[in-house]
Chains A and B, each alone.
Chain A
Amino acid sequence: MRLDRMGSMHQSRLSFLRQFLRRAAKENWKFNRDLFEINVNGVGRALYRLSTPLRDYTLICFSHDLPDEMRSDRVIASAWDATFTLYDGRPTLDDLERLEKHVPYQEEGRLTQNELCLSRANRSVRLWDYVLDCLSNGNQPDLDRVRDVGYLMRTTAVYGSGKFGSADRRVVENREEANSPFQLEMMTVYLIRTFVMDLIEHLAKIKNPGSAVKLDSTIRRSFGVGNSTGLGMAPFLVNHPRLIHNWFEAKENAIATVKNLKTATQTEISKFKELVTRLKPHLKAWRSEHPIQIEKNLALEEDIEKLETKLENFSFSIGSPWRLLCDWSEDELSIEGQEMLNSLILEPYGHLVDTFGDEMSCDEAKLFAINGDVTIANVKSTIEQNYGWALEIDWADPNCDARAWYTSEEKLEPRLGERYEMPELNEYEQALQPGRDVARAYKDLCELEPSTTIADFLRTYPKHRHIIRRCLTCGELPFSEIRDNTINSSMLPIDMLRAKLSFFGACHFDPRSDRWVRINMFKGAPFPDELSSGSDPENWIWAP
């Protein structure tokens, strides 16, 4: 796993929102809007319920009237246009009263084990008033303008797994619908999307009851949910090596399964080619002002043309066509293009690859223990095999340890500072630089006899315990480690964010800086009522 490749990954059949929609359709989950009480100022509350065969989940929405000057996507914001919690079951009025005192305050509030997720969203100033005006005047918004932004609201955090008092993952992990990673977070975002559509239509009707219209269903589908993601996701990737390994291994296994097929049927080839034709309009609507992403998208555009040309004369009847195509891409396409192809070839093969999605969750207690009887010689050998890249870095070069990851006391916002400009940060640095730490440990390992046990080494050097644990874990799990320097002066945190977001199922990556990216989720996907009426849960991807 290298950062440049992680920063070029795309959604796939195994992405968590795809798994979520697939299950919802297969199990015919029922959808209901149980409450919608929003006043003329857009203030009020609403309840959206999804019923699986075994239980109910309800998104509780609080809608607010936020002055423009208070709108901020940063963690340090204190108010939002809308705030949400996913409730385990059907909330009572007492629950609503209780949660109204907490959810609008987000990190300052407290949840209970009945709540599963906490989230908030801000309106898109570029689109909100425009769409509201169009609908209230009886007109549909211009599709190109809608596609330019892609969402009416963007979430700025979706918290789960016990955060702020909500239920721990262990409470729900044995439920089939919640076992794969982030399934309840995906449910939360999916229901937020529906709420936002209802809200804008409701406000248009209030504004002009005589002439307001609802969104045309095609345009409605063009709205996803935006999301602003900052530095918090980067530490997640480093802090959960066992889980991350399972994500990447599942995807690699899926790709290998398809590459190993000797032939492809006409139906499979047609499906693949149809998706390739969707990429150009998708790319046209993928807007970014970030110079790096602009360059990558230009390369991807060329890649798509090269792929189309290649396919004109490509024979799928010769041995292992998908492997041949992927091998060709490694010589001819940019990393963005290669990763796009890796995602595309999985699409015709749901029957072979979707089950890999069942292997993406993880018991993180696994491999937590350190086998103290292992000798220093063995640990050194493991490090040499897996961390050669880290041992080769000149850590005395200030560019190589230029940054420090830390948490600010200000709403505990994760930050990345310049170590040599703010030397006080050394005191607050977090353990998010495995490369440097393993190089330091290796140096000390060389000081003791190779036959010494690692337990004795750690007694002498307790400061290396975290990294020795990590090395031993990562020795067992080849996809658990980012094989790059996470504190280098030129490191781009957005590469880490993108890898995680691609596993969520995000599209339209639009970096706003080196440490903040906007994305879109569920753009083009069927809404819950459409899913219940039999809409295909898969065939909407790469929507423009």
Chain B
Amino acid sequence: MKKGIELSLNEYEALLNKAAVGSGLPWGIAEDAAACGAWFMSCGVNKLNTWIDRLKDNSFWIDYCKKIDQPSSNKLNNIFDLAASVYVQPDTKVKLDSYEWNGWELIIDGVKQTTSFRACLSETQFKILNELAQKTYAPATDESRLSGAGAGLSDND
């Protein structure tokens, strides 16, 4: 295992989703932001720090979602725009700077990227994402504990 943190891609996308909600993005926008971040990771696009920075900017993600919803409004200026074209419509073919999506895989600087189902991130990145995700969890209280399944019942039978 590489130094740092390794997650399954599913686990990573769920963490990104919670981090996005914890940052204040609406639920539906967070779903698309997380899908975008997971797509970056699966295709070898090293943009997690940028993705995290963007969480501070609701309007960025609202514009991003508009590009997904109406592809004709999507003028490709950066890798996020390319992601907006591709991850919901993977049979699209697009080129942008050093990136090329040929309809099924990403090519970066002429090198085909192998799709990965693992996410590798630094401990710092993991910590930041978890701190944001933590904002979506309710504090542990006695009252809250009573609203979980199995509360107040004997398990020894």
Q: Which one of A167, A369, A467 has the greatest number of beta carbons of chain B within 10 Å?
A: A369
Q: Which of A73, A417, A455, A469 is close to B28, meaning CB atoms less than 8 Å apart?
A: A469
Please indicate the chain B residues that have their CB under 8 angstroms from the CB of A417 in the complex.
138, 144, 147
Please indicate the chain B residues that have their CB under 8 angstroms from the CB of A169 in the complex.
10
Please indicate the chain B residues that have their CB under 8 angstroms from the CB of A368 in the complex.
35, 88
Q: How far is the CB of A287 from chain B (nearest CB, A)?
A: 12
A231 near B149: Cβ-Cβ < 8 Å:
yes
Q: How far is the CB of B63 from chain A (nearest CB, A)?
A: 8
Interface status of B53 (Cβ within 8 A of chain A): no
How far, in whole Å, are A76 and B137 apart by their CA atoms in the complex?
Answer: 15
Select the stretch in B43-51, B64-72, B75-83, B101-109 that faces chain A: B64-72
Q: Nearest residue in B to A72 (C-beta to C-beta)?
A: B155
> Which positions 153-192 of chain A face chain B at CB distance < 8 Å?
161-171
Interface status of B112 (Cβ within 8 A of chain A): no
Interface status of A145 (Cβ within 8 A of chain B): no
Q: Nearest residue in B to A467 (C-beta to C-beta)?
A: B28
How far, in whole Å, are A229 and B150 apart by their CA atoms in the complex?
Answer: 9
With contact pairs A124-B157, A372-B66 given, residues A74 and B149 touching in the complex (Cβ less than 8 Å): yes
Please indicate the chain A residues that have their CB under 8 angstroms from the CB of B139 in the complex.
408-409
Q: Which of B73, B151, B156 is close to A71, meaning CB atoms less than 8 Å apart?
A: B156
> Which positions 112-157 of chain B face chain A at CB distance < 8 Å?
117-118, 134, 136-140, 143-145, 147-151, 153, 155-157
Q: Nearest residue in B to A232 (C-beta to C-beta)?
A: B149
Interface status of A410 (Cβ within 8 A of chain B): yes
A415 near B148: Cβ-Cβ < 8 Å:
yes
A465 near B9: Cβ-Cβ < 8 Å:
no
B66 near A459: Cβ-Cβ < 8 Å:
yes
B88 near A365: Cβ-Cβ < 8 Å:
yes
How far, in whole Å, are A68 and B66 apart by their CA atoms in the complex?
Answer: 56
Chain A residues touching B, range: 35 or more
Please indicate the chain B residues that have their CB under 8 angstroms from the CB of A163 in the complex.
8, 10-11
Interface status of A140 (Cβ within 8 A of chain B): no
A408 near B140: Cβ-Cβ < 8 Å:
yes
Please indicate the chain B residues that have their CB under 8 angstroms from the CB of A462 in the complex.
26, 28-29, 58, 62, 65
Q: Which of A73, A113, A408, A465 is close to B26, meaning CB atoms less than 8 Å apart?
A: A465
Q: Which of B8, B29, B32, B73 is close to A166, meaning CB atoms less than 8 Å apart?
A: B8
Scoring B residues 92 to 107 as 1 if CB is less than 8 Å from chain A, else 0, what string do you get? 0000000000000000
Q: How far is the CB of A306 from chain B (nearest CB, A)?
A: 34
B148 near A112: Cβ-Cβ < 8 Å:
no
A414 near B138: Cβ-Cβ < 8 Å:
no
With contact pairs A125-B157, A372-B70 given, residues A167 and B27 touching in the complex (Cβ less than 8 Å): no
With contact pairs A166-B8, A369-B68 given, residues A171 and B117 touching in the complex (Cβ less than 8 Å): yes
Chain B residues touching A, range: 35 or more
Q: Which of B10, B136, B138, B148 is close to A162, meaning CB atoms less than 8 Å apart?
A: B10
Select the stretch in A51-59, A216-224, A255-263, A422-430 that faces chain B: A422-430
Please indicate the chain A residues that have their CB under 8 angstroms from the CB of B28 in the complex.
458, 462-469
Interface status of A228 (Cβ within 8 A of chain B): yes
> Which positions 462-479 of chain A face chain B at CB distance < 8 Å?
462-469
Q: Which of B6, B117, B151, B157 is close to A126, meaning CB atoms less than 8 Å apart?
A: B157
B155 near A408: Cβ-Cβ < 8 Å:
no
A372 near B88: Cβ-Cβ < 8 Å:
no
Please indicate the chain B residues that have their CB under 8 angstroms from the CB of A515 in the complex.
148-149
How far, in whole Å, are A95 and B107 apart by their CA atoms in the complex?
Answer: 35
How far, in whole Å, are A132 and B118 apart by their CA atoms in the complex?
Answer: 44
B155 near A415: Cβ-Cβ < 8 Å:
no
Scoring A residues 420 to 454 as 1 if CB is less than 8 Å from chain B, else 0, what string do you get? 01101101101100000000000000000000011
How far, in whole Å, are A392 and B70 apart by their CA atoms in the complex?
Answer: 32
Please indicate the chain A residues that have their CB under 8 angstroms from the CB of B7 in the complex.
165
Interface status of A293 (Cβ within 8 A of chain B): no
B149 near A424: Cβ-Cβ < 8 Å:
no
A125 near B156: Cβ-Cβ < 8 Å:
yes
Please indicate the chain B residues that have their CB under 8 angstroms from the CB of A113 in the complex.
8, 117-118
Please indicate the chain A residues that have their CB under 8 angstroms from the CB of B111 in the complex.
none
How far, in whole Å, are A425 and B136 apart by their CA atoms in the complex?
Answer: 10
A-B contact pairs, 7 of them (CB 8 A): A232-B149, A369-B68, A369-B89, A408-B148, A431-B27, A458-B28, A513-B153
A residues at B contact (CB < 8 Å) = 68, 71-76, 112-113, 122, 124-126, 161-171, 228-232, 365, 368-373, 406-410, 412-418, 421-422, 424-425, 427-428, 430-431, 453-455, 458-459, 462-469, 493, 512-513, 515-516
Other than A406-B138, A464-B28, give 12 A-B pairs with Cβ distance below 8 A. Answer: A162-B11, A165-B8, A407-B136, A408-B144, A416-B147, A417-B144, A430-B136, A459-B62, A462-B65, A467-B28, A512-B153, A513-B149
